[in-house]
Amino acid sequence: MENAAYITYPFHDLRRNRAPLVLTYVCSHWRKIAIGTPTLWSSLRIDIEQLLVQSGRQKLYQMWLDRAWGTPVSLDITDIRASKLGLLERVDWIGFLLEHVPYLQYLSTGPSVGNALFKGLLSRPVGSARHLEGLCIFFPSPTPFEKSCHGRLSSLFPNLSQLDLSAPSYRGFVDVAIDQLIHFSCDVTFFEEFLSEGETVLIFSKLVELHVHRANGGQESALNLKYGRQIILPEARMVKIHDTTPNALLTRKLLPIISCPNLEVLNIDNGYIAVSPIPTSPPDSGDFSFFSTFMAHILCLRYLYARHQHFYDDGFFSNIRIYGHA
């Protein structure tokens, strides 16, 4: 029944024509089986706008939410249209979801929902989201993290071990418990900010996967990762860098300050390789000494994905240290 996890239609249909809950429209035989099954699924997608606009649907939503009662649940809250943002001020929707999904293990939200989610949780009793292990949240540039919620990540989610966090600034997340994360995805701004004021070393003692990207990837000038700083990842097995800078500047700046002796997978891509022209360059036209230095300390590497046009260079492939690992 995991195939029925998405209980609302996706966004491509007009809202007025969309079924509020897909499984409501199946035949009576399957509806009876679904309603009579105490544990039907572990992953749910909630159209928060429909829940807020059509309050009469709450009982219908409750019926399906209760089918995941008592089991670890992954919950995806869809985004909401700009014209309906005011509805998120009604924090009772947070209580409704937590009441009917008491064992919330993983939570992801649309870009417009993040601040309302944090403010709603702050109004709830302490420990309301104590089971949460994974959080995926995105704050777009025009909508920075609400100041009243700064420094509250660890208190709201004390057992967080998987964090996908994208924001124009990370000043409000100074309390991220990096020592207990096993998966972390962030904008490089996180390291720029945390390694620029006083801190010279960041130690992720349990981290297994690190994903780094840059929101304004095409702009190189503002990249501020200083030599002498360190990001220590003693248990990391995978590092992925989504590098959209033309000359792989993000990779050039990031790799020299990362220490990950047990790395098995290194993935560097720019997301546009299929449509990017491969530059013609003379042999050894690029300086890949930064890569050689990094690779010299990696003894367990099994897979190297260099899907960035900057590495389509004779100088990269002729480098013995790199080629010996690939």
Q: What is the pLDDT of residues 223-246, one digit of tens each?
A: 677 767 899 999 999 999 998 887
Secondary structure letter of residue 324 according to DSSP: H
Residue 261: predicted pLDDT: 94
- In this structure, the chain runs to a length of 326
Q: What's the pLDDT score for residue 20?
A: 39
Q: What is the torsion angle, in degrees rounded to the nearest 10, for the CA atoms of residue 56, residue 57, residue 63 and residue 65? A: -130
**Residue 197 confidence class, pLDDT cut points 50, 70, 90:** low
Question: Contact at 8 Å (CB) between 173 and 152?
Answer: no
Residue 313 scores a pLDDT above 70: no
* Closest to 304 measured CA to CA, from 316, 315, 314: 316
Q: Give the contacts of 243 (CB within 8 A, at least 6 positions apart).
A: 214, 217, 249, 250, 251, 268, 269, 270, 308
Amino acid at 197: E
**What's the confidence (pLDDT) of residue 258?**
94
Determine the 3-state secondary structure of 269 from DSSP: strand
Q: How confident is the model at residue 10 (pLDDT cuts 50, 70, 90)?
A: very low
Highest-confidence segment of 54-68, 140-154, 236-250, 278-292:
236-250
Q: d(Cα 222, Cα 67) in Å, to the nearest integer?
A: 49
Do the Cβ atoms of 263 and 239 come closer than 8 Å?
yes
pLDDT of 28 > 50? The answer is: yes
What 3-state class would DSSP assign to 186? strand
User: Strand locations in 139-222, DSSP E?
Assistant: 162-166, 183-187, 201-203, 209-213
Q: To the nearest whole percent, how much of the chain has pLDDT over 70?
A: 73
Mean pLDDT value of segment 90-110 = 86
DSSP string, 107-140: EEE-TTTHHHHHHHHHTSPTTTTTT--EEEEE--
Of 61-65, 73-77, 308-312, least confident by mean pLDDT is 308-312
Burial of 235 (0-12, 13-18, 19+ CB in 10 A): middle
List pLDDT tens digits, range 38-55: 666 777 888 888 888 876
User: In which order are the strands placed within the sheet that holds 201-203?
Assistant: 201-203, 230-232, 258-259
CATH class name, domain 1-176: alpha beta
In contact, 79 and 114? CB cutoff 8 Å: no
**H-helix or E-strand spanning residue 76:** strand 73-77
Q: Where are the domains of the chain?
A: 1-176, 178-326
The arithmetic mean of pLDDT across residues 254-280, rounded, is 77
By C-alpha distance, which of 119, 121, 144, 120 is closest to 132? 121
Residue 145: the pLDDT is 80
Please report, rounded to a whole number, the percentage of residues in the chain having pLDDT higher than 90. 24
- Beta bridge partners of residue 45, listed in sequence order: 76
Contact 268, 243 (CB under 8 A): yes
Amino acid at site 213: H
Lowest mean pLDDT among 92-101, 157-166, 271-280: 271-280
Nearest in space to 223 (alpha carbons), one of 259, 187, 198: 187
Of the pLDDT bands very low, low, confident and very high (cuts 50, 70, 90), residue 1 is very low
**C-beta atoms surrounding 195 within 10 Å:** 20
